[in-house]
Amino acid sequence: MSHAISTGRGLDEAARALLYTEARTANSFAPTPVSDDELAQIWELARWAPTAANTQPLRVLFVRTDEGRARLVEHMNEGNKAKTASAPAVAVLAVDPRFHDHIPALLPFRPELRDVFEANEPMRKQTGDFNAALQAGYFILAVRSLGLVAGPMAGFDAEGIDKEFFPDGQWHSTLVVNIGHPGENPWFDRLPRLDPEESVSWA
């Protein structure tokens, strides 16, 4: 395995634009398919990004059949239905509230942290939600890094999706991400970002 981290060079300008400055949120998708291999590669990248105590609370359901998409569209907000219907693939990102059961394997030098989380529901919920949200961000950037576009959406009936796709009550949906190639009129006007003067301070 090569160790890009040791080169000190970073990504070139084009790669930074692909991930950040020129990347856009897609609102419609071309019929170009996205393969299961590409979807697997998204997670193969995203799963390496860091989480607190290596807890990794995010779970992913890839929906890419017509039948699965139709079941999912039912639970999207009205304004989001057409977007998901046009996406060749969709990821339902979910939190596993029992993420701490994996701690003995994921943090072998401190297995007792599992029991600390088991005994402290507020800490468990805060850690799960925060780190799952972090991982959702990593996920979107992984989509972009493969030359695909993402359309993240929080507008859906989470209870409905959970009943439909996670009936054993194990996972709780947190973000739906349309994935594919841009379709017709895929972009809204670019919205402004806060200036660094408004969002960054220095000490």
Ligand X SMILES: Cc1cc2nc3c(=O)[nH]c(=O)nc-3n(C[C@H](O)[C@H](O)[C@H](O)COP(=O)(O)O)c2cc1C
The residue from 25, 41, 54, 145 that contacts ligand X (CB under 6 A) is 25
Supply the minimum distance, in Å, between the C-beta of residue 24 and ligand X.
4
Structure tokens at 190: 């670019």
| Per-residue CA distances from 171 to 12, 47, 79, 135, 195 (Å) | 38, 17, 25, 15, 37
Give the DSSP letter of residue 64: -
Q: How far is the CB of 102 from ligand X (least distance, A)?
A: 25
Chain residue at closest Cβ approach to ligand X: 155
Q: Which of 11, 70, 82, 154 binds ligand X (CB under 6 A)?
A: 154
**Residue count at the site for ligand X (CB under 6 A)?**
11
Which of the ranges 55-63, 67-75, 109-117, 183-191 carries the binding residues for ligand X, by CB under 6 A?
183-191
Which one of the spans 32-40, 61-69, 86-94, 187-195 is the region binding ligand X (CB under 6 A)?
Answer: 187-195
Region class of 176: left (phi > 0), else alpha (psi between -120 and 50), else beta: beta
Letter string b/e over residues 32-48, b meaning 16 or more CB atoms within 10 A of that residue's CB: eebeeebbebbeeebee
CB of 53 to ligand X, least distance (A): 24
Binding residue for ligand X (CB under 6 A) from 10, 167, 190, 192? 190
Applying the rule CB under 6 A, the residues between 55 and 84 that interact with ligand X are 80
Stretch touching ligand X by CB under 6 A, among 93-101, 117-125, 151-159, 163-171: 151-159
Handedness of CA 39, 133, 10, 182 (dihedral sign): positive
Q: Are strands 172-180 and 149-153 parallel, antiparallel or unpaired?
A: antiparallel
Torsion angle of C-alpha atoms 176, 178, 184, 186, degrees rounded to 10: 60
Is residue 24 at the binding interface for ligand X, with CB under 6 A as the rule? yes
Give the Cα separation of 58 and 40 in Å (integer): 15
Number of helices (H) and strands (E) in the chain: give both, helices first.
Answer: 9, 4
Q: How far is the CB of 26 from ligand X (least distance, A)?
A: 8
Q: Which is nearer to ligand X, 53 or 134 (CB)?
A: 134
Residues at the contact surface with ligand X, assessed by CB under 6 A: 24-25, 80, 152-155, 175, 187, 190-191
